[in-house]
Amino acid sequence: MSRLPMILSRSIRSSISHNQKLLPSLQHRFISQSSILYNSPFGKLTTDPNQQQPSPQQQESSQIQSTQKRPEIIKNEDGEIDISSITPENDEQLIEYHATEEIKNQKDSIEKLIHPLKIKLYNQVVRDHGFFKNDLIIKDEESKKLLKFHLTNEEISILEPSIYLQSFRIKLSMKKATIVNRFVRKMDLKTAINQLHFNSKKMSTELEKLLKTGLEKVRMLGYNENTIYIDKLWVGSDGKWKKRLDIKGRGRHGIIHHPYIHLKCVLKTEFTTKRLQWEKLQKSKLEKPKMYLNNDPLNLKVRPWYKW
């Protein structure tokens, strides 16, 4: 037996004697050499050929077992429900209530900010043109009247689909984080993740994790992941910085502050890109021809009379 496994086995035995809770983590850390050989530096790109993959029947059985984990409601012989068996996990009426309340709160929050008529007209314009076009003369379907429909930039940002991301307690300074944020801002989501994956800075790994969660949300909501881009990305102090004593010479000392920050990001869809391209085209059409006049000063004195 080589020397390395002896050292590992001693460390495991000592950890079991001190604290039994550390056993699963240590077992996971000191795996056989086959898992080390087949791991990739870029994540789980390769698989161990010795490891057998579960069959589709086993996957279906595992899904059924996960759904059956919910505790059942117990009934008596007379058909009466035992109240003690009802929990928030198996109460169907409570689950339905929370789902409907969540949808209702979302609608109420938008209607508090924007008039319902504006929301209806916005949806009508998007349905007709594929994206929102501002300052169009449209015909209302109910009143049959022609209306010039205008929305402010704030109202458009509320109505257009967007995804908000945030993270907390990252041990880094705001200045170092801003350098990486400037590099990625206004970039496509997938290209940003690829660029950050091969970046050597510490901030790039934290930002990559945040953008990957955004990519999962995009797939869950059903948007086209190839057209999503980073509209806004900013950093802020997370508060409660740790302090450490900095010992100096001649009986003096200072305080070292360990900064903690948070990241916040807003992702936009193709509806925003199409609208911005259309607005840029309309602005170029309304531009007047440029007159390149010479505004240099005269090289002679201008007097209100003739020289003679």
Sorted by where each begins, the domain ranges of the chain are 92-159, 162-268
**Structure token pair of residue 111:** 């209607």
**Structure token pair of residue 40:** 């990739």
Q: What is the pLDDT of residue 36?
A: 38
Helix (H) or strand (E) holding 1: none
CB of 158 closer than 8 Å to CB of 118: no
Q: What is the pLDDT of residue 95?
A: 83
Distances (CA, A) of 175 to 103, 240, 259: 39, 18, 11
**Structure token pair of residue 203:** 């901030």
CB of 210 closer than 8 Å to CB of 230: no
CB of 34 closer than 8 Å to CB of 48: yes
Q: What is the pLDDT of residue 20?
A: 41
Neighbours of 186 (CB within 10 A): 12
Task: Please say whether the structural domain 162-268 has been given the CATH code 3.90.470.10.
Answer: yes
297 forms beta bridges with: none
Amino acid at 56: P
Residue 184 CB burial class (10 angstroms; 0-12, 13-18, ≥19): buried
Neighbours of 135 (CB within 10 A): 10
Mean pLDDT by 10 residues, the chain (308 residues): 37 39 34 38 43 56 54 73 76 82 73 89 94 93 89 94 94 96 96 96 96 95 95 94 95 96 96 96 90 72 72
138 forms beta bridges with: 147
Q: What share of the chain is helix, strand, coil (3-state, %, to 5)?
A: 45, 15, 35
Q: How far apart are CA 256 and CA 170, in angstroms?
A: 17
